[in-house]
Amino acid sequence: MWKKRAEVRILAALLAVLGLYALLELGILGFRCPQSGQQGSRGSRKIILENTEHKDNSITVHLTSATNKSSTGFRRLRRREQDEDRTTSQSDVNVLSLALKEMFSKVSRLEDLAREDRNRSEALIARQDSFLRDIEAEMKKETFSRRLKQEAADHDMFQLDRRAPPRVLTVPVGPGENGNATYIHGRDTRQAAEQLHNLYGYSVLVSDIISLDRKIPDQRHKLCLQEEYPTDLPQASVVMIFYNEALSVVLRSLHSVVSQSPPHLIGEIILVDDCSDKPDLMFPLEAHISTNSKLRNKVKVLRNPKREGLIRSRLKGVQKAQGPAVVFLDSHIECTPGWLEPLLARIRKNISTVACPVIDHIDTKTFAYEQLRFLAGGFTWDLNFIWIYVNKEEMARRKSPIDPVRCPVMAGGLFAIYKDYFQHIGAYDPAMEIYGGENVEMSLRVWQCGGRVETVPCSRVGHIERTNKPYLSVRSNDTKDINIEVNKARVAEVWMDQYKRYLYARQPNLKNISHGDISERQALRKRLGCKSFQWYLENVYPDRLEHTVENGFFRAWGELRNVHTGLCLDFMDGRGVGLWDCHGQGGHQFFALQRPEKGKAIQATCSVWGPRAPRGWKSQSSSTVIMDFTRVGITTARVGYF
């Protein structure tokens, strides 16, 4: 940058010198012109004298005398003119001298500015070199730490998380290589990184430092390396939706899909922009795709003219998909070696299967790739997704640690499915808004209508769980809860039968919310001959069936109200149990009393455990328990699920 500035300044100085030279030339011409005129006058007088000399001698003498007198006056005039010329010339020289001094002063100032720019650039380069050295040192430490953790990994009875022994020792050559953590140094830089982290939900500065093609170690179980897959696996169309993501995160997701997948199995990557307003997601994104040999023949960018949300954007992507199989991925992921073949092999074996990868964690601040313990997906009675342990029955059914695991609910962001089956089973509910609840709805629909949801251990994909989700709302964050509540109400009314009362007990406000027309989805359920929600609880998710009043797990549920003050027990957004004005909307004020053999523990959004048998309880109805807080003390609590 400073070199370009110096070149411009030098050019300006040269132009100034040329201008001064032109002024100098004009000044010289100015005091030469009178001399030319004077020579012409003398020449003309001489001609007159010569012409008259031949006519008359007397006249010649007279003219000669006159000429002598005239010559004396002319010399005086000439000296006066020369004095004036010298005065004018001296004045011009003074002006030029002042101009030259000013010019040289400006040139000197320009040189000083260029020198300052050069010094600042050298200081910046030195800081960058120091930063890179610090990163390299941190990566070396992280590499040895990860190797020790790999050797000690043994998380469950089947050792699902044990990695294959490294075949080649990979040496980090840049920030984030081998999935290592990358750190930001410097106070000002950390503050800028924190601001971007709050905006995007992850560290954009760290993402920009890391290579778009960084290497992630093989995360699979050693038995996965022995698996052989059919040669006629279906070709996949990958559908990715993004809204106001960081450019480097989107590009790294694309690069990882292409670099970690067999080329013949990826027919296309359909990238749907849900009306982002970030400038770098417009031309810079398409320019990178069009100039990259790996991406330009694979990636197709579709842009929504208005916000449609994740659900309808995915439906748009499926409509454009050409492959027999569709793989849905988030736009903030990184695929690992061998991730695609196990998914396609599983749906090829059973067309009515929805195959999900094991989802690992990518740290939002350091982008460190962290292998997580293998878990299944479930939900709470307020239809929020949770991770659960694989139950004993499912563990006993499996013969190998790499056998697929049946999951009651999928996380929803990453899965593979046949396109024809996806459309046959009802795709997504197009009346659902933006995001939230669609994964529970699709999981219930697949299971109840004859399909299955499975997690395939040999397929692992890293995912950034953003700390904030800007795509939840179409207009502003004040509508995001309404969107999710509408989606939950539609799920309950179509698929949960009599068990929907558990959702409404947790969130009474959903009873009065307008969930739209559900007749088409109810007709779909009837047309497909789907089973009841009771069947789903008994055969797919028995752990959730246990947490019901019908099963005797709970004696009663509702709010805990002080009859004297009108205050209710409240979980206070996870800050601990306290008292708050009763709002009647459930949520953090919803509690349930367990059966006596469970120790009368209160279990809901929070769970109270230990020898604190409540006293002074009054049961006014089957859904309301009133508690006299003056006689009961609650001192500790911990998070639980209901």
Q: Position of tokens 């953590």?
A: 181
At residue 318 the predicted structure's pLDDT band, cuts being 50, 70 and 90, is very high
Alpha-carbon gap, residue 629 to 563, rounded angstroms: 9
Alpha-carbon gap, residue 43 to 48, rounded angstroms: 9
Stronger pLDDT, 452 or 60, i.e. the higher one: 452
> Does residue 486 register a pLDDT over 80?
yes
Stronger pLDDT, 200 or 166, i.e. the higher one: 200
Diameter of the chain measured on Cα atoms: 160
- Model confidence pLDDT, tens digit, residues 245-294: 999 999 999 999 999 999 999 999 999 999 999 999 999 999 999 999 99
Please report how the helices 438-448 and 480-495 are oriented relative to each other, as an axis angle in degrees rounded to 10: 10
The pLDDT, as a whole number, for residue 514 is: 87
> Does residue 616 register a pLDDT over 60?
no
Give the angle 417-418-422 at the CA atoms, nearest 5°. 80
At residue 195 the predicted structure's pLDDT band, cuts being 50, 70 and 90, is confident
At residue 73 the predicted structure's pLDDT band, cuts being 50, 70 and 90, is low
Stronger pLDDT, 227 or 642, i.e. the higher one: 227
At residue 497 the predicted structure's pLDDT band, cuts being 50, 70 and 90, is very high
Read off the pLDDT of each residue in 173-182 and give the average, rounded to a whole number.
89
Judge contact between 20 and 106, C-beta under 8 A: no
The pLDDT, as a whole number, for residue 632 is: 38
- Model confidence pLDDT, tens digit, residues 289-317: 999 999 999 999 999 999 999 999 999 99
Alpha-carbon gap, residue 260 to 448, rounded angstroms: 34
| DSSP codes joined into one string, 574-624 | GT--EEEE--SS-GGG-EEEEPGGGTS-EESSEEE-SS----SEEE-SSS-
At residue 122 the predicted structure's pLDDT band, cuts being 50, 70 and 90, is confident
At residue 435 the predicted structure's pLDDT band, cuts being 50, 70 and 90, is confident
The pLDDT, as a whole number, for residue 605 is: 35
HEC sequence for 459-490: EEEEECCCCCCHHHCCCCHHHHHHHHHHHHHH
| C-alpha count within 13 angstroms, C-beta hemisphere, residue 81 | 14
pTM over 0.75: no
Q: Cα 306 to chain center, whole Å?
A: 20
Alpha-carbon separation of residue 492 from 262, 438, 500, 505, 545 (angstroms): 41, 12, 5, 12, 16
Judge contact between 569 and 638, C-beta under 8 A: no
Judge contact between 210 and 182, C-beta under 8 A: yes
Name beta bridge partners: 568. Answer: 561, 580
The pLDDT, as a whole number, for residue 150 is: 53
The pLDDT, as a whole number, for residue 38 is: 42
User: By CB neighbour count within 10 A (0-12 exposed, 13-18 middle, 19+ buried), where does 510 fall?
Assistant: buried
Read off the pLDDT of each residue in 454-472 and give the average, rounded to a whole number.
88
HEC sequence for 125-178: HHHHHHHHHHHHHHHHHHHHHHHHHHHHCCCCCCCCCCCCCCCCCCCCCCCCHH
Q: Cα 304 to chain center, whole Å?
A: 18
- 309-311-313-317 Cα dihedral, nearest 10 degrees: 170
Judge contact between 340 and 413, C-beta under 8 A: no
The pLDDT, as a whole number, for residue 612 is: 33
Q: Position of tokens 């009393």?
A: 593
Say what percent of the chain tops pLDDT 90.
Answer: 46
Of 59-73, 168-182, 454-468, 614-628, highest mean pLDDT: 454-468
- Model confidence pLDDT, tens digit, residues 347-381: 999 999 999 999 999 999 999 999 988 889 999 98
Stronger pLDDT, 135 or 222, i.e. the higher one: 222
